[in-house]
A and B are shown apart, each in its own frame.
Chain A
Amino acid sequence: MVKVYIPRETTADSLGAELLVKAIATEAKYRKLDIEIIRNGSRGACWLEPLVEVETDKGRVGYGPVTLDDVPDLFDADFLNDALNDVQSGGKHAKFLGDVEKLPWFANQERLTFARCGVIEATSVAAYASLGGFVGLKNALATTSDGIIEQVKDSGLRGRGGAAFPTAIKWRTVADCKADQKYIVCNADEGDSGTFSDRMIMEGDPLSLVEGMTIAGLAVGADKGYIYLRSEYPLTQKILNEAIANAEAAGYLGENIQGSGKNFTLEVFMGAGAYICGEETSLLESLEGKRGQIRFKPPLPAIEGLHGKPTVVNNVISLASVPVILEKGGKHYAGYGQGRSLGTMPFQLGGNIKNGGLVEKGFGLTLRQLIEDFGAGTATGKPVRAIQVGGPLGAYFPASLLDTPLDYEEFAKAGGMLGHGGVVVFDDTVNMAKQARFSMEFCAVESCGKCTPCRIGSVRGMEVIDRIVGAKNAEERNAEHIVLKDLCETMESASLCAMGGLTPVPVMSAVKHFAKDFEKEL
């Protein structure tokens, strides 16, 4: 019996993986070959998806990207047996990649949070436990609330959703609150364009999120958790629910976890297509069944969150990083990264990129290393002109800033923000005035409407940019630029949340670095 791994994951699925599974199973049956198809997640090399892997005693041999047309050829090339005979033989098929883990793309990563993602059968408790899964939970059960929070503090983990707030401080605040009920809420409303790490871990290693949330529950004294998942991820929903059911059946979730007397239940809650619900207070409103309009802070959700109770609201990656921290120790995790940006970050490389996907690496590598070494430049082969890091509210960088290290502080110094680690690459055909206008348009479409600078400012912003690019002369244009700057300052300082507050960042960075683009009609 040969084990063949084919991802059950949105990227692979969007490129035909489901049909491939059927085709390979049918072909194997027809040729009387005994195979077992295992559904893993994606390893993150999106350009190789669908990536088909054959397990051998020398490692996993990859073929990719595999299309339906390749299937008969793969069998003709004896891909199941050739792989078994000699991993490095070069293969008889054009899609042969050799030992997947030896590909530079994977070998040069530092995978802690994503160590199992794409490697194991995604929803299997046994597969998860065979690679260190639930060791962190067992360690957490053996220590106290303080003991858990101490490890998280030692790890230096900061909120991976974008705000980079120290996770341990948030947990400490909730743990110190006296309340009859506390909650753990996972923010899985991954709406930022160019980001997909939350989805990948939830599809590829969902039990790490389940374990991380359970540990968070033990740390702060919460016995109920919600995963607020965006509705654009229907496959993720299925996989998460399967993982939750499997964890419950194995006694890692629910009542009396592993005989400890501790309880923690988990529920997946679907959003409904509102970007603003990725803002934590909006998310809580939505989870309570209301319009997703943001709340004033204070009170912080840590003190008055869901249903007015102390609530930890953490991003998926923050929570999914907790198991490895509890398994190997906070100091081990802090051994990666640099300065005040400790640990690893799953960077997501998208847009106009040849080899796009997920790269987990300690903080500190440069944008150039990410885009050129991992990404191999643009998909179109043209020069890189602009890079947006950190989602639709992140700054646009010109190619001259490619040597900026990916680190929270270094990025802030360069006028950007790392956010959730999304990196979107544009080639030299991009018009940056158009991108700036889009930032305002997006804010207008997705604003929750509660505060005026965001709701109205974004609409006025589009109009001003239209007037700038339509200006008859430099004088007219400069006058409008003053209005835009003024408007952006108002949005930045007077908006209630980051949506209106940060929309000026992509706009003004485009003005700063690509001023020429604002001198011609769109």
Chain B
Amino acid sequence: MQQLAGPLTYQDWDLDKAREAVLEYAGRTGGVMIALHRIQAIFGYIDDSAMPMLGKVFNLSRAEVHGIASFYHDFKREKPGRYTVKVCQAEACQAMGSEKLTEEIKAFLGADFHETSPDGNFTLEPVYCLGNCACSPNIMIDTQTYGRVSIDGFKSLANTLAKEAK
């Protein structure tokens, strides 16, 4: 399997830095969506204190910003582990044993969906289709998709990634 270069590095939350990073999207079509993606890319999540700030920048109420951030599965409100592991739960992967693989991954990481492994390395999320359905089962770690994943393949990959995270 393809190996990642290492974990994505997230900065510690800084509201001023977050504001600076999103100002340019004011007035853009769907600017607040672009802003939420941008903030998450920098910090790994969107802190509650960003809600009023985004409201001011995009001329929305705090409730509206919260409504948008909470609607989409992608936007995280708490800092994730060093890597985010998404395991496909959709039909094509089911046909190739994703259910069993999912249970094995959960057991190996010691984390259920939407949880982080005790060592802080892996946050586990479900995903519905990664668009690689002829090479199921599929998982995605950060931005890298892996096809035809076996539990042994996953374990060795996770072990390598955990070492790189240190």
Contact = CB atoms under 8 A, between A and B. Distances in A.
Do most interface residues of chain A lie in helix, strand or loop, or is the interface mixed?
mixed
Nearest to B129: A193
A426 interface: yes
A291 B140 contact: no
A196 B91 contact: no
Given A269-B30, A430-B95, A348 B72 contact: no
B20 to A, nearest CB: 19
A274 B73 contact: yes
Contacts of A46: 132, 134-135
A74 B37 CA distance: 43
A270 B144 CA distance: 17
Contacts of A351: 91-96, 133, 136
Interface string B27-42: 0011111101100000
A105 B148 CA distance: 21
A360 interface: no
A166 interface: no
Contacts of B111: none
Nearest to B33: A289
Given A19-B2, A47-B134, A424 B129 contact: no
B136 A350 contact: yes
B90 interface: yes
B145 A13 contact: yes
Given A193-B128, A272-B74, A291-B68, A348 B133 contact: yes
A288 B135 CA distance: 35
Contact of A16 (B2, B96, B136): B2
B130 A232 contact: yes
A479 to B, nearest CB: 29
A89 interface: no
Among the interface residues B36, B73, B134, which one has the most CB atoms of the partner chain A within 10 A? B134
A357 B134 contact: yes
Contacts of B96: 351-352, 379
A272 B133 contact: no
B162 interface: no
A445 B90 CA distance: 12
Contacts of B75: 272
Given A291-B68, A350-B134, A388-B91, A269 B147 contact: no
A411 interface: no
Nearest to A232: B130
Given A232-B127, A273-B72, A19 B145 contact: no
A494 interface: no
A425 B128 CA distance: 17
B31 A289 contact: yes
Interface in B3-36: 3, 29-34, 36
A275 B3 CA distance: 28
B42 to A, nearest CB: 15
A399 B8 CA distance: 46
Given A190-B131, A234-B143, A272 B73 contact: yes
Nearest to A292: B71
A418 to B, nearest CB: 16
